[in-house]
Structure 1
Amino acid sequence: MAAKERSNILDRMVAFLQKEFGTLEDASRMPADYVIMMLVKGDPQLPQEYLNVSNAEELCQNQPQLVEMLKEACLSGDFNRFASAFLRIVQPKPPTPAALDYLINPFKTPYVGAAVDGLYEYLRENNRKFHREGGHYGKFCSIVQSSGSGKSRTMIELGSKGVMVLYMNIRDKADKHNWPPRDDIPARILAEDLGRLTEESYTQRCCIFFTAIFLHLGTRLRELFDLTGCRISRAIELWRNEMDGTLVGNRRVQFFQDVQETYWKITNPKSARACIEELLQKMDPVFFSEMSPKPLTAENYEEEFLDYEQNMRNSYSNLIYTLDDLMGTTDDPKLVIAIDEAHRLSTMVNDRFRPSHLLCRVISAYSCIRGYLGSVWVVFASTSSRIADFSVRSQIHNSQRAVTAGSRLFPPYTLTGWDQHAIPLADITYADDVSKAEHLIRYGRPLWHSNRLRDTVMLAKEKLCNGRTFNVHDSNQVLAVLGQRFSLDICFGHPEAAEFLETGVASHLRVCDAITEDRMWRFTSYPSEPILSHVAGWLLHNEPDYIVDALKCMERKIQDGLIELGKSGQLVSRIVWILGKDSLVRQLYTPTVPDRTQSPYLLYCQKVPLTKYLEKCFGNTVWPDNKQQAEAAKNAFQNAYVNFSHWISMEENICDEYRSDWCAKQWLLRHWARTAAIQCCHGQPLIDKVIPIYFHNAGRSLQDSMSLMMISDKAGATASPTDVNAIQAKHVSINCVTGLPCIAVTLDMGVVKTEVRSTFSAKQSPRLNSLGYADPDEEDSCLRIYASGMNAKTFPFLEEQVSLETLLQSIVQHATEPAYPHPVGERLQDEMIYGSTSRPRHMEWENGAKGPAELLKS
């Protein structure tokens, strides 16, 4: 630092301390952390992080010699020694771009999508239900979603909808490399130094905190309305600018300091009376003369001042009165107190209480005041679905009035948006573009598109693994990586399912689709997110043994019953098809460390020639034995490509006879655009999977260049070589006749005998007409492949990885095992689902009285 600049800072230090404390001697008697806060407050050139109490306290605790220097400087008037040490210690270090920039960028880009509108509707409906249906515990709710999905931004953006948002982040003080930044004052009051507190003292702490919040909110709101001439939109815009939760602005810092000052005054009996008088001056006397049974004065109010809850309720009522007076009485949300990183409140304190229980009890106490309909909500946000369980306990302390409230909670909001930055399908003009990183990072959560590619890939690795490295022995990491690519299905009834899903959402980017109102069921998934699929592919193949070790971990979870294999071994099929493509893409392109590559393409999202892919999967035996048919098939698919990096699962048939808006080619193109293959629903006739096929032809549009591979999975011991002939793209449930050659495959994975055979008509291959279309007979343009066995003879590429063949064989065997290892149990299960099929075991109730021997014979 230049000498002149240092001298200017010294002059400002002395001048501001004299202004603030009167004399330097008076300043020497004040706590050192408070003096440092005042120094920083008076000089914007100093690091503003020390305006926060906890940072100033931590500095003084870690630097006791600095405290002594400060006291000496105040007594002597010579600040040179203190200033040199202080500036050397607190000079801010330039942040590493990869540490914070990639988290800050999503808050700088223009907001896109309707998630904030959905949250607005959700809060409006919650307010309506709260006042008209009754039975709800309090005016609080939650947002639960995995990292990078836009929870914080969505809450803050409520300001654009005319809502006053008071955002506070209570993340742990050790979590310094995250964004939005921590708000020290709310974090310290709500979540820290709780070990010495009782339930009653923590409840009082929350009551006093909300009292101070309501007081200063009402005061500032009145000031803004007066300043803007009662223009509501302008006043809220000013509030939004000065209280932006992503900025550490002076006005925002000052607001929380004012709240803290009031909090301290109410907590300290010596200053309580003065605080009460100030509080009464801020409140509307007409309003309180109507509300109070006796005249409200400082004297009689002080008599009941220790009733912290009533004090809070009065402050809240005054705030509601102000809001309704200025903004009208409707269910539209007017004020949202957003508490981010709220999972910190769910930790048990000394086996006595959970802060979340008591905080929500406090919210219930003020929000259940009769006659006040104002839409003021506390919204908790976290990656952890534990915040959806912030609820009332069965035992209520006698001093609490929360017993007047109901017990129902609002289900959490999860709809933070998806694909907000995706390119419109009509703007995708080249097939190779879909493999480019700049295209693929637009899909999924908004975090990816907001950053440079290198930062995005590094960030995706860390967030998917919840760490800087991939630990192949950590089942949560392994199932996250495999789940993102292979669409693992979780068995809800498994005792580990709830914990696994909770951990996946909180730590491994699993998406929370919904949580039921009773919080008993959490529906989660890994939606299509190509950048994560590429990262997962790289992690699985980064070391030679990783893929086998990961699949072994998965097999153990299949044996335990946590992972569902599918009755026909659909999971094994998904694994084989992707691993075959991974093997080919690593053969055709040079694998590189993903965060160091300069290539614009993502390796595991690259397209590969279809003919080479079929040969990689099945070897040269994939072509018909008849040379003429083989030559015709190779010619038909010589310009065809496949490109898929992950599987997505359907919940209904591909099509039905009533679909009037169906366009098969567009459906296939959309999956091609995000490198996705399709796992059909369980009830889909004829097939289990679809892989899009692209035919490269400069004279044809992308949409008219799409066809498909249809796959049927079987895991039984009996071969079904003719079933492949029944697969028809024109079937009403598929309806994907494209006029281009297609492929039908039957995989008989449970059959011991190894066989790969195919047929393809040797008749004239389809040719384009003058309009660029072809519509040959489907039998003439479908390559039909039958493959049996799960071994290296059927799938030669399995030999490339030691133990992979044996492992997949072992996994397939699980699909052939009965759902119940004990046959009597299986028959008892049949009795419990009468009428589920027309078969005797589901229809003959006479079986209910039979003994085990007779039952097994029937």
Structure 2
Amino acid sequence: MDVDSPSHPALAVQSVYTDNDHHQMDDAVPQLLAQFNLSWHPSPSVLELTFVLLAVVHGDKRLDKKYRNVLTSLDLLNKDPSLQPIVANAWQTGSYRDIRTLAVLQAPMPEPAGGLSELLLDALRKGLSAIYRGPAVDAFSEYLGQNHQAFCKGGNEYYGKFYSIIQSSGTGKTRLMLELGTKDICVLYMNIRSPNDKQGYPYHDDIPANILTGCNTESEYLIQCYAFFASIFKVLRIFLEEEKKFNDWCKDMCKIGSRARALFFAAVGKEYENVKEEIHASSTGEVVMFRYYQQMAYSRSLPSGNKNAPGLGNTTGSGNPCGYDTRTCVGMVSSARVPVDGHLFFPPFTQLGWDQNTPILEKVQADEVGKAEHILRYGRPLYVLIGFAPLCPLLMLARDKLCGKPVFNPNDAHQAFAVLAQRFGFDFAFGPPKIESGATPLTLPSPFYHTSSRPEEMVSGGAVDIGQIGELVSRLLWLLAKDFFVRTKLDAPAHMSGGFEEVLQDCQLVPVVEFLTFVFGPKIWEVAPGAQTEFQNAYINFSHWVSMDFNVRQDKEVEQLPIETWTCCHWARTSAVQCCPNQPLIDKVIPMYFKPQKDGDRAGMSQILISDTARIGTRQSALFDIRRDHWSIAPDYRGLPYIAIVADLGVEESAFDVAVDSSKDMCLRVYASGLDATSYPFLDGYTKVTHILKDLYKRRFPPSGGDLQDLEDQVQFGRSSEPRHMNMKKRSTT
């Protein structure tokens, strides 16, 4: 057993203990092991490692108590052999920190029983009254206008004139609805969340929520809806009798917790019972509702054509119902089930911005982009409003918003994709039946479909687009390399107890020289020793991928940022670039920052240019083809040294070469073929990771043939210019 294997970073969580805490708990472990007459030796058995694991779990109250059972811990080590060297290494060194931070050992957090904390509640309230930033409300107003025109011109084409906002929690949906009141649009905001949801704000409105969610039969629910909206129209007519009074009422209804809202819904609740009895007596709910609507709409004191009239609940403008949700489920309503003409739905509004608090680029300090205070400005507006110190409560809130639950379960495909999708640039594929079957569980809630408990099966099953030439494989490779380096070579920041000035773990500056040594091994500098000096003060810092639809440099007629400014924008967001499929020469760009170390050092941005598609044939001759001054990258730029990498991930044989090119800007050129620990030493000890990566890129290779493959190619006519996709197939001889 190799006790020097590194801790598996994918299984690690941030420690909540100080170094002193760890030392005290470490000192107690040998005493527990002595009870089993165990002492370290070079070849420990799985059973011995099980007792070591038991001793660690017994000494840490934060870990899951079920692993205090011998059989449970033994089963864990047998099912996941990658944990065994972690336990063995900890036993040998006497430091058990790596065991305590294993995600699988963390005790599940109970569902929160109480309500929001005062700090969070105060932040949420501020979020509904602070200065509104960004153009989202203007865009939504435009969206409503365009849909209204389409509905009026569409005849019976549309099922109904109602809209939806679908975006995740904390992005400003409620504030957007309320802010519409500033656009001379009447908004009647109603929150019908569950009364058991103690973590949500604004709280639910009792009367609308009880009416709209408190029925068991379809026929009775239809009557309740008729009565509810009829009572709204009946009460609203009072406020339409005088325009000034109506305008004031509109503003008050957009103030959460206002007396006007309470009085209005109380009046609606009272009228609701009367109208409901009227409908039961006449059995004409639609007629009753329409009569009260006409009385409201044609209130004699309201000027004709007033654009404020009338507005509906969770509604905006001219009777346009608008609801919003944070769930990622897609409504699957068959047009055959719609009992009226029209089957089209308006697409949901999903354009709420994430950049309302983005700092001006000129004010961004390049060596401070990893700080929490900076990173949070690119996220949900809610995070900036909270301003927690220490940072731990905010990180827990971010986890809850992202995963939808108060504890992260890596075996839950929905949670895993929520965490990984944006980091690794996942594209969810819809279309061919094979792909739809894999993606459907991500868009439909239980009990309609069963979701796999293994996220990797969702990738292999077709839910995630792998790319035409292995783009996903290389994104995984480079970002995993950076993540592994951060977790094994850099000290973890103490941001669980720190404040907004702390640097987030995955946003730390990574020295380029050390990173390339970690990825390729010391051999990279043995071939080109002088190049190491050139990049001594160079750093990378990318936490996720951003995909492009166009070349880095387009036609001159299109306004574009200079390459250095473009690189700075990505550096500020800690993003790396997945180039578009048509980009010549390269597939990826990783921003690189040269940090001044002494007087005279030049500061600025440069790039690592990578061509790393998973092709079968070697492209070593293409190593010198990559040029930063190519017309599609930066034809007019001369500046700091850069790095060009050609990685043939699809080639079975491992090969490596390094060259230094000083013809223009100094360039370190690296060639590597294969996808194993020989080409990439950082993969040593991660056999499962290597196997998954290889399995993914092999899916991009041409099929091996066979009648089944022939038939599949025929129904994909035109997919490529190959004979198999142009119906040039052999004919059956039987």
Smaller-chain TM-score bracket: 0.7 to 0.9
CA distance in structure 2 between the aligned counterparts of 1:240 and 1:254, rounded to whole angstroms: 13
Query: Are 2:411 and 2:455, in contact at CA under 8 Å, matched by a contact in 1?
Result: no
Please give the alpha-carbon distance, in whole angstroms, between the structure 2 residues aligned to 1:251 and 1:563: 49
2:115 and 2:198 in contact (8 A); partners too: no
Task: Please list the CA deviations of residues 405-438 of structure 1 after superposition, one character each: whole Å capped at 9, or x if unmatched.
Answer: 644332222222231110121222x211211111
Match status 1:444 vs 2:421: no
Matched, 1:795 2:672: no
Q: Is the 8 A contact 1:624 1:757 kept in 2?
A: no
Residues 681, 334 of structure 1: alpha-carbon distance in 2 compared, 3 angstrom cutoff: farther
Q: How does 1:404-415 map to 2 (within 5 A)?
A: 406-415=342-351
Cα shift at 1:217: 1.4
The change in CA–CA distance for 1:95 and 1:318 in structure 2 (over 3 A counts) is same
- For residues 250 and 835 of structure 1, the distance between their equivalents in structure 2, rounded to whole angstroms, comes to 64
Q: Does 1:116 find its partner at 2:137?
A: yes
Residue 612 (str. 1) matches residue 545 (str. 2): no
- Given the superposition, is the C-alpha separation of residues 588 and 558 from structure 1 closer, same or farther in structure 2, using an over 3 Å criterion? closer
Which whole-Å deviations, capped at 9, do the CAs of 1:543-566 have from their partners, x for residues lacking one? xxxxxxx9x945423332222323
Unmatched 5+ residue regions in structure 1? 1-92, 228-234, 273-301, 341-366, 368-373, 397-402, 507-549, 764-776
2:30 is equivalent to residue 132 of structure 1: no
Q: Of the candidates 426, 431, 434, which is equivalent to residue 366 of structure 2?
A: 431
Q: How many residues are matched? A: 607
1:696 paired to 2:595: yes
Tell me by how many angstroms 1:451 deviates.
1.6
Matches within 5 A, 1:702-781: 705-735=604-634, 737-761=637-661, 777-778=663-664, 781=666
Deviations 1:649-708 (A, max 9, x none): 112222223345331111111000000001112222211111011112389999971111
Task: Return the alpha-carbon distance in structure 2 between the equivalents of residues 248 and 582 of structure 1.
Answer: 46
Instruction: After superposition, give the CA deviation of every residue in 1:350-373 in whole Å (9 maximum; x if it has no partner).
Output: xxxxxxxxxxxxxxxxx9xxxxxx
Q: Give the 3-state SS of the residue equivalent to 1:571 in structure 2.
A: helix
Amino acid at match of 1:258: A
Q: Does 1:383 align with 2:345?
A: no
Contact residue 537 and residue 594 of structure 2 kept, 8 A: yes
Shift of 1:175: 1.1
1:495 partnered with 2:504: no
Residue among 667, 672, 675 paired with 1:782: 667
**Do residues 320 (structure 1) and 297 (structure 2) align?**
yes
Contact 1:392/1:407 (8 A) holds in 2: yes
Deviation, 1:123, is 1.7
SS at match of 1:677: strand
1:379: how far off? Answer: 0.9
Q: Once the 2 structures are TM-superposed, how far is the Cα of residue 644 of structure 1 from its aligned partner?
A: 0.4
Q: Name the structure 2 match of 1:530.
A: none
Given candidates 287, 308, 311, the residue that maps to 2:288 is: 311
In 1: Cα distance, 2:427 partner to 2:674 partner: 24
One-letter amino acid matched to 1:265: N
Within 2, Cα distance between the matches of 1:732 and 1:853? Answer: 53
Checking the alignment, whether the CA contact within 8 Å between 2:429 and 2:436 is kept in structure 1 is no
Matched, 1:160 2:182: yes
2:236 corresponds, among 217, 221, 240, to 217
Report the CA distance between 1:97 and its aligned residue: 3.5
Deviation at 1:733, TM superposition (A): 2.1
Q: TM-score, normalising length from structure 1?
A: 0.65
Structure 2 residue matching 1:175: 3-state secondary structure:
coil
Q: Find the aligned partners of 1:268 and 1:834 in 2 and give their Cα distance.
A: 62
Structure 1 residue 852: deviation in Å? 5.0
Which residue, 240, 254, 274 being the options, matches 1:265?
274
How far, CA to CA, are the matches of 1:470 and 1:171 in structure 2? 23
**Cα pair 2:595 2:602 within 8 Å, conserved:** no
Residue 337 of structure 1: which of 312, 330, 341 is its match? Answer: 312
Q: Gapped runs of 5+ residues in structure 2? A: 1-113, 447-451
Matching of residue 418 in structure 1 with residue 354 in structure 2:
yes
1:829-848 mapped onto 2 (5 Å cutoff): 847=728
Matched, 1:584 2:485: yes
* Residue number among 639, 649, 672 corresponding to 2:537 in the alignment: 639
> In structure 2, do the counterparts of structure 1 residues 184 and 560 end up closer, same or farther at CA, with 3 Å as the change threshold?
same
Greater CA drift, 657-666 or 145-154: 657-666
Q: Percent identity?
A: 36
- Matches for 1:584-603 after TM superposition, within 5 Å: 584-587=485-488, 589-592=490-493, 594-598=495-499, 600-603=502-505
The one of 238, 248, 264 aligned to 1:255: 264
User: Is 1:144 the equivalent of 2:144?
Assistant: no
CA distance in 1, matches of 2:338, 2:152: 25
In structure 1, distance between residues paired with 2:162 and 2:274: 27
Match of 1:71 in 2: none
Q: Distance in 1 between matches of 2:475 and 2:460?
A: 18
Deviations along 1:160-194, one digit per CA (max 9) or x if unpaired, are 111121100111121122111101111111111x1
SS for the counterpart of 2:407 is coil
CA distance in 2, matches of 1:198, 1:836: 47
Cα distance 1:653–1:184, how it changes in 2: closer, same or farther (>3 A)?
same
Larger helix fraction of residues: 1
Residues 17-50 of structure 1 deviation map (CA, whole Å, 9 limit, x = unaligned): xxxxxxxxxxxxxxxxxxxxxxxxxxxxxxxxxx
Contact kept? 2:329, 2:444, Cα under 8 Å: no
Per-residue displacement from partner, 1:386-408 (whole Å, max 9, x unpaired)? 68667977464xxxxxx5x6443
Determine the C-alpha separation between the residues in 2 that align with 1:601 and 1:425.
19
CA contact (8 A) 1:574 1:647 kept: yes
Q: Distance in 2 between matches of 1:381 and 1:612?
A: 48
SS in 1 for 2:670: strand
Instruction: For 1:636, give the aligned amino acid.
Output: E
Distance 1:793 1:94 in 2: 54
Separation (CA, whole Å) in 2 of partners of 1:789 and 1:749: 5
Larger radius of gyration: 1
> 3-state DSSP class of the match of 1:707?
strand
